[in-house]
């Protein structure tokens, strides 16, 4: 299942004016992981290569980016973040 990480990052930038990259987001939600692991996890989430995403990780991402979890899964339109 593909998560709309890039769209959520863009929405976060529009809301706050602060630019956040995938690497920055990974550093915030996976502080204990290595750089390689962070990169792979974020890429797999964004590209839909994760069969069953970790609910705790998804919740952290949604909270940090100030979007609804439904937005990340694509269950809402772009204008409803």
The domains located in the chain, with CATH, are 5-73 (1.10.260)
The pLDDT confidence band at residue 76, using thresholds 50, 70 and 90, is low
Output the average pLDDT for the chain: 89
Q: In whole angstroms, what is the distance from residue 22 CA to residue 27 CA?
A: 9
What is the pTM assigned to this prediction?
0.83
Least confident of 5-9, 49-53, 54-58, 77-81: 77-81
Contact (Cβ atoms closer than 8 angstroms) between residue 53 and residue 40 = no
């Amino acid at each position: 299942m593909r998560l709309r990480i890039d769209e959520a990052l863009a929405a976060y930038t529009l809301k706050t004016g602060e630019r956040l990259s995938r690497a920055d987001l990974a550093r915030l939600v996976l502080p204990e992981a290595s750089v390689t692991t962070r990169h792979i996890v974020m890429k797999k989430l964004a590209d839909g290569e994760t069969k069953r995403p970790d609910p705790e990780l998804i919740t952290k991402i949604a909270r940090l980016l100030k979007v609804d979890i439904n937005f990340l899964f694509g269950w809402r339109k772009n204008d409803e973040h």
